[in-house]
Structure 1
Amino acid sequence: MSQEAETAERVRELLDRNLQEVFGESNDQRRRAALDELWAEDGVLYAPPGAVRGRAAIDKVAGELRASHPDFVYTPIGMPQVVQNGGRLAWGSGRPGEAPAYTGWDVIIVEDGKIAALYVFLDESSEEYLRSSCQ
């Protein structure tokens, strides 16, 4: 496999695993282990309402989000798309077997095989839903 193909495969893996093992994980220890494996130490999460830097801060955000919707699952919508060291994945989140309560896109930048930055784009109705349900 060429380095370009390996990089593309790694970007896809990071998108999928981050969605499930970081933001979809309720167990604090498993989530933290995934963060250590998938994220650069000084990685940055850009998501409403702002940016946070570092694994500990990202863990806190992911844990709080997970706690606000403990019965929700994240489901990829389509396949991850990759360009060079970046990729994007559409997803929905909601109760299993139901339509997603909110949807969005994850866009990552990968450096040295780890997530250096994650940009979370929420669909407009999703921002309203999360604002009202997480308060």
Structure 2
Amino acid sequence: MTDFTGIVERYLAPWNETDPVKRRELIEQVFSDDATYTDPLGAVRGTAGLDQFIAAAQQQFGGLSFSLGGKVDGHHDIARFTWHLGPEGAEEPLAVGFDVIVVEDDRIRQVHGFLDKVPG
């Protein structure tokens, strides 16, 4: 049985890692080489594209961190989960999203992201 919660925790780690070398290492560990990421703000393919997309998000939301917003629900090779973005320890997140991932060989092959709440 796939440990979807563990995979999602590994998925969130690069979003919070600001050291470019460490971030790229984390991306390469959790994503397949040809992984795709699609959300309302962009669509990228491959670990280099993911690295650039995440770096841009970090510049836009500096000082904020991503966290799991509840239980991960998964079956077969797919899982869904809610994430929060905000200052650590904040009662209310600034942004909330919902992602669906497709997993192959314990690495993420696809991410389909949705934004439920965005900063004004």
**Letter in structure 1 aligned against 2:69:** I
Structure 1 equivalent of residue 110 of structure 2: 117
Structure 2 equivalent of residue 107 of structure 1: 100
Question: Residues 120-135 of structure 1 correspond to what in structure 2 (within 5 A)?
Answer: 120-123=113-116, 125-126=117-118, 129=119
Alpha-carbon deviation of 1:33? 0.3
TM-score (norm 1): 0.82
8 Å Cα contact 1:73/1:96 also seen in 2: yes
Aligned pair 1:24/2:16, yes or no?
yes
> Whose Rg is larger?
1
**Letter in structure 2 aligned against 1:118:** V
Structure 2 equivalent of residue 70 of structure 1: 62
**Letter in structure 2 aligned against 1:97:** G
| 1:62-90 Cα shifts (integer Å, max 9, x gaps) | 01101211211112121111111111111
Structure 2 residue runs without a partner (length 5+): none
Counterparts of 1:35 and 1:91, CA distance in 2: 18
Alpha-carbon deviation of 1:49? 2.7
- 4+ residue stretches of structure 1 with deviation over 4 A? none
8 Å Cα contact 1:104/1:122 also seen in 2: yes
**Letter in structure 2 aligned against 1:105:** F
Counterparts of 1:116 and 1:18, CA distance in 2: 11
Structure 1 equivalent of residue 84 of structure 2: 92
What secondary structure does 2:49 align onto? helix
Counterparts of 2:98 and 2:84, CA distance in 1: 9
Structure 1 residue runs without a partner (length 5+): none
Superposition RMSD on alpha carbons, in Å?
1.4
Identical pairs, percent: 27
